[in-house]
Amino acid sequence: MTSETTRRRTLLKGISSRAWEHPADRGALVALRKLQGFDTILRKFSAFMSERAIRMHLLGSAVRVSERQFPRMNQLYAEAATVLDVQELPELYVVASPVFNAMTIGIDKPKIVVNSALVDLLDDDELRFVLGHELGHALSGHALYRTLLQYILTFGMTLASVPFGGIGLIALRSALSEWSRKSELSSDRAGLLATQDVQAAIRVNMKLASGGHLADLDQTEFLSQAHDYQDTEDLRDSIAKLILVDASTHPMNVVRASEIRKWVDSGAYARILSGEYPRRDGDRDAKISEEASAAADAYATEFKESEDALAKLARDLGDGISDLGKWVSAKVRGD
C-alpha cells in the first residue's frame, strides 16, 4: 500500500474522523453515535435487506477495482487510504456513466462507487482527492446516520396529519439538508488531507462546475464568484439563495472550493499535518456538549463575518433591539 508518492505525504496515524468533520457535522455525529443499540439494529437490518443486493448489483453491472482492474485508480485509492490510516478498506467500483459523480453506499460494509466520467476527467491528484472524499464519508459513518435520519424523517410524515405538524416536518427536512451539506464539506477536508494538494482539491470543483474546461478558467476569478455568491448585497438574492439550497443535500461547487480555501487559511489543515489532531482512541470520550458548543460557535462566527444582505439585516435588527432594550432598561432605572 506504499509508493514513492505516498511517502511524500504526511501519514496521519490513528487519525479520528473528528479531525476533518465540520463542527456542525461533528456535533450531530457525536450525538448520534451515542444512540448505541439503534445504530446496531439499523446496521443489521440494512445488511440483511439491502447490503447483499447492492453488492450483487455492483458485481453484476460495474467493475471492481483491483491491481488488475483500473490499476491506476487502485494505486491512488491505496495511497489515500494509507494517508488516512484506514483500517478496513471499502470495496471500490467503477460504473459506466457520463455523469460526474461518486458515492459511498451501504451501511454495514460501505462501498465506494465512482462514475467513469470522473475517471476520464481527473488527473491523479484530483482523483485521489475524490477517493479521499468518499473515504471520509465511510469513516465518518455518514451513510449510517443519513439512513437513520431519513427514517426519522419518514416517521415524521405522520406529523402531516396533525394541525401545524407540517411545519415541524419542513423544519426537520431543512435541518437534515443542512447537516448533509455540512457533511460534504467534512468529506472535502478528508479528500484534501488524502491528496495534500490544495490546488488539486480546488481544481476538482472547477472541473465539475465547468464540465472539465479547466484551460478556460482562472482560479482567482472562480473563487471571486464564491464571494459574489456568498456576500451578495441584495436582499432578494439572499432570499433566492435560501430557496435554492433548502432541499439541496450538496453545497454548490463554487462554494465548496471557497470553503476548502477558508479551511486551509484558518490554519486547521496545517495543524493536522503537523500532528495536531484527535485520535480514534479518544472517540468514545467525545462529549456532546462540547461538540454542540463548537457547532454553535461555528455558526455564530459564520453569521458574524458574513457580508450577505440577509445576515447584515439580521445583525442590524439585533443591534437595534439590543439598543432599545438598553434604553428601556435605563428609563426603568431612572437614568
Sheet bearing 102-105, strands edge to edge: 63-64, 91-95, 111-115, 102-105
- Across the range 112-135, mean pLDDT stands at 97
pTM value surpassing 0.85: no
Predicted pLDDT at 150: 62
CA 42 vs CA 32, 107, 109, 145, 152: distances in Å? 12, 8, 12, 10, 12
Work out the pLDDT band at 309, boundaries 50, 70, 90: low
Is the predicted pLDDT of residue 331 greater than 90, yes or no?
A: no
Please state which of the ranges 73-82, 171-180, 212-221, 289-298 shows the lowest mean pLDDT. Answer: 289-298
Q: Which segments of the chain are extended strands (E)?
A: 63-64, 91-95, 102-105, 111-115
Predicted pLDDT at 191: 98
Q: What residues contact residue 334 under an 8 Å CB cut-off, 6+ apart? A: none
> In a 3-state reduction of DSSP, which class is residue 120?
helix
**Is the distance from CB of 95 to CB of 64 less than 8 angstroms?**
no
Give the percent of the chain with pLDDT over 70: 66
Tally Cβ neighbours within 10 Å of residue 249.
14
pLDDT digits (tens, 9 = 90+) for 82-103: 999 999 999 999 999 999 999 9
- Across the range 21-39, mean pLDDT stands at 67
| Parallel, antiparallel or unpaired: strands 63-64 and 102-105 | unpaired
Distance from C-alpha of 196 to C-alpha of 198, rounded to nearest angstrom: 6
Is the predicted pLDDT of residue 320 greater than 70, yes or no?
A: no
**Is the distance from CB of 102 to CB of 132 less than 8 angstroms?**
no
The burial of 158, by beta-carbon neighbours within 10 Å (0-12 exposed, 13-18 middle, 19 or more buried), is given as exposed
Is the predicted pLDDT of residue 208 greater than 50, yes or no?
A: yes
Work out the pLDDT band at 325, boundaries 50, 70, 90: very low
Distance from C-alpha of 314 to C-alpha of 306, rounded to nearest angstrom: 11
> In a 3-state reduction of DSSP, which class is residue 307?
coil
| Parallel, antiparallel or unpaired: strands 91-95 and 102-105 | unpaired
Is the predicted pLDDT of residue 333 greater than 60, yes or no?
A: no
Question: Does residue 9 come out as left (phi exceeding 0), alpha (psi in the -120 to 50 range) or beta?
Answer: beta
Pick from 78, 79, 77, 84: which is nearest to 14 by CA? 84
Predicted pLDDT at 303: 46
Work out the pLDDT band at 42, boundaries 50, 70, 90: low
Per the model's pLDDT, the better-predicted residue between 43 and 328 turns out to be: 43
DSSP secondary structure letter of residue 75: H
**Is the distance from CB of 249 to CB of 181 less than 8 angstroms?**
yes
Work out the pLDDT band at 2, boundaries 50, 70, 90: very low
Predicted pLDDT at 321: 44
- Say how far residue 209 (Cα) sits from the centre of its chain: 17
Distance from C-alpha of 322 to C-alpha of 49, rounded to nearest angstrom: 55
Distance from C-alpha of 165 to C-alpha of 76, rounded to nearest angstrom: 48
Predicted pLDDT at 72: 96
Give the percent of the chain with pLDDT over 90: 47
CA torsion 12-16-22-26 (nearest 10°) is 180
**Residue ranges per domain, the chain?**
4-291
Predicted pLDDT at 284: 77
Is the predicted pLDDT of residue 133 greater than 50, yes or no?
A: yes
Predicted pLDDT at 292: 54
**Is the distance from CB of 131 to CB of 21 less than 8 angstroms?**
no
- Across the range 296-304, mean pLDDT stands at 55
- Across the range 134-156, mean pLDDT stands at 74
